[in-house]
Chains A and B, each alone.
Chain A
Amino acid sequence: MKKSLFVQSLKTVFILVAICLVCGALLALANDLFFVDDATKFAQTAQSIYPGFVVDQTLEVDSSFKLNYGTVNSVTKSKDGGYILDVTGTGGYNNGTVTLYVGVNAKGHITGWSIKDNVGQSFISKITSNHQKSWYIPINDSVEHTVADTYDMEYSTAAGATFTSTAINHAINVAAKYCHDILGLGAKGVK
């Protein structure tokens, strides 16, 4: 009887382990098939927020640029003189952050933005369409206009949580201020 129970238990564990191993092996195969490198991911995102963007070079972020509501992580220049900035805005729910890709063309106008990552912002998936994105910053707005008018504005109805809106606003304003102060875009009489 004891031996029979032991054998049954062993059989149960063996079947469970076998299923786990087979599933693991198939997932490892799928991971190889569906792997997309960072450069391809960036290219896909770039086309969606800045149609026609062709990578020219990646610029070094100016270390003297410091703001208390966000940071610039990387700046990629396009061959037509525009930029895509990887920026992080603070002030999210529970001190979380939101990281965006923001596209700015050579005339200093924001072409679009896309969410790259977030820390602790569960409802950020609600912000999808250009219509919803326009609550934060109208696409095609100038970086000069952005810095002057949208800093400290909070669109509290947009995501259902004010803090998420704050982090997104901060991220966009970081990008706008960097383009205006460091890259010289949108400034009167310059570029």
Chain B
Amino acid sequence: MKKGRLKEIALDGVIRQNPTFRLVLGTCPTLALTTAAASCLGMGAAVTFVLICSNVIISLLRNVIPDKVRIPCFIVIIASFVTLVRMFMQAYIPDLYATLGVFLPLIVVNCIILGRAEGFASHNPVGESALDGLFMGIGFTLALTAMGIFREVLAYGTIFGSDLWTGPVIGVDPQTGATAYGPKFTIGFFGSNAGAFLTYALFIAVFSAIYNAVERKAHKKAARKASLAAAAVAVEEVQNAQ
């Protein structure tokens, strides 16, 4: 692998081509599962595993799979890994399996996985494809978890299932003697589907604003450096001519 290629793949996956905020892929699980941060981590882990494995196999078979049937072959390979993940979760993590529900088999048609298979793994060596799958998965997981935390805190006042604050004290439970709390302040809108869209739009807007600002700064710096280098070359030429 060329020097700097690892950094390039990592930055592409997590920031420059973040599948959620930059490429806007995989919106179905993004909108549906971000009501709870814990389920975002689970979905992110599942997608990362499928991405890495499918990228590796597709890259290995890239010179074998005929062009005419490449999409069906990709789907069969991706579906096999998704089924593997489902079997594993059903056996060992049944709570997460129940939480992800219908969105687990939907990973098969997740655009991120098919997009990376078609756009990267089928044209690049195995090592780079595996890294691309890993960092794309990390980017997806981070994006989903950030949105999940935001929505869960605002809609339910919890983070990863733990209460962040309670409602006003209204008395003492006569049966158990424990302090009784009233309903706590939350913005239930962010738990709804409309809230999901609004949250997604806000995150895309903020991410794009920060990314564009950093890019502009980087371009200005590069342009200043280039002009200084050009000026130095011009001065040297003049001196040589004299």
- With an 8 A cutoff between CB atoms, is A68 at the interface? no
Contact check, A128 vs B87: say whether CB atoms are below 8 A apart.
no
Mark each residue of chain A from 55 to 98: 1 if its CB lies under 8 Å from any CB of chain B, else 0: 00000000000000000000000000000000000000000000
- With an 8 A cutoff between CB atoms, is A115 at the interface? yes
- With an 8 A cutoff between CB atoms, is A150 at the interface? no
Chain A residue nearest to B68 (CB atoms) is: A12
- A sample of 20 inter-chain contacts (CB < 8 A) reads A16-B69, A16-B73, A19-B61, A20-B76, A23-B77, A27-B84, A27-B87, A41-B94, A44-B94, A125-B98, A125-B99, A125-B101, A126-B36, A128-B98, A129-B36, A130-B161, A131-B161, A132-B156, A140-B176, A157-B188
Q: A36 contacts which of B35, B90, B99, B100 (Cβ < 8 Å)? A: B90
* Shortest beta-carbon distance from B13 to chain A in Å: 26
Bound-complex Cα distance A178 to B166 (A): 34
* Shortest beta-carbon distance from A85 to chain B in Å: 18
- With an 8 A cutoff between CB atoms, is B141 at the interface? no
In chain A, positions 114-141 with a C-beta closer than 8 Å to chain B are 114-115, 122-126, 128-132, 140
In chain B, positions 210-224 with a C-beta closer than 8 Å to chain A are none
- B-chain residues with CB within 8 Å of residue A35 when the two chains form the complex: 91
Contact check, A128 vs B69: say whether CB atoms are below 8 A apart.
no
Chain B interface, number of residues (Cβ within 8 angstroms): 42
Bound-complex Cα distance A57 to B207 (A): 57
- B-chain residues with CB within 8 Å of residue A115 when the two chains form the complex: 98
- With an 8 A cutoff between CB atoms, is A4 at the interface? no
In chain A, positions 9-68 with a C-beta closer than 8 Å to chain B are 11-13, 15-16, 19-20, 23, 26-27, 30-31, 34-36, 41, 44-45, 48
Contact check, A131 vs B156: say whether CB atoms are below 8 A apart.
yes
Given A30-B84, A131-B158, are A15 and B73 also a contact pair (CB < 8 Å)? yes
- B-chain residues with CB within 8 Å of residue A23 when the two chains form the complex: 76-77, 79-80
Contact check, A125 vs B76: say whether CB atoms are below 8 A apart.
no
- B-chain residues with CB within 8 Å of residue A15 when the two chains form the complex: 64-66, 69, 73
Given A11-B66, A15-B64, A15-B65, are A125 and B100 also a contact pair (CB < 8 Å)? yes
Contact check, A122 vs B102: say whether CB atoms are below 8 A apart.
yes
- B-chain residues with CB within 8 Å of residue A132 when the two chains form the complex: 156
- A-chain residues with CB within 8 Å of residue B99 when the two chains form the complex: 125, 128
If A124-B101, A128-B98 are given as contacts, then 20 extra A-B residue pairs at C-beta distance below 8 Å, sorted by A number, are A16-B72, A19-B61, A19-B73, A19-B76, A27-B80, A27-B87, A30-B83, A30-B84, A31-B87, A34-B91, A114-B98, A125-B98, A125-B103, A126-B35, A129-B158, A131-B161, A140-B176, A157-B191, A160-B192, A160-B193
Bound-complex Cα distance A131 to B158 (A): 9
- B-chain residues with CB within 8 Å of residue A130 when the two chains form the complex: 161
Contact check, B161 vs A45: say whether CB atoms are below 8 A apart.
no
* Shortest beta-carbon distance from A171 to chain B in Å: 15
In chain B, positions 79-99 with a C-beta closer than 8 Å to chain A are 79-80, 83-84, 87-88, 90-92, 94-95, 98-99
Bound-complex Cα distance A27 to B84 (A): 7
Chain B residue nearest to A160 (CB atoms) is: B192
- A-chain residues with CB within 8 Å of residue B193 when the two chains form the complex: 160
In chain B, positions 43-80 with a C-beta closer than 8 Å to chain A are 61, 64-66, 68-69, 72-73, 76-77, 79-80
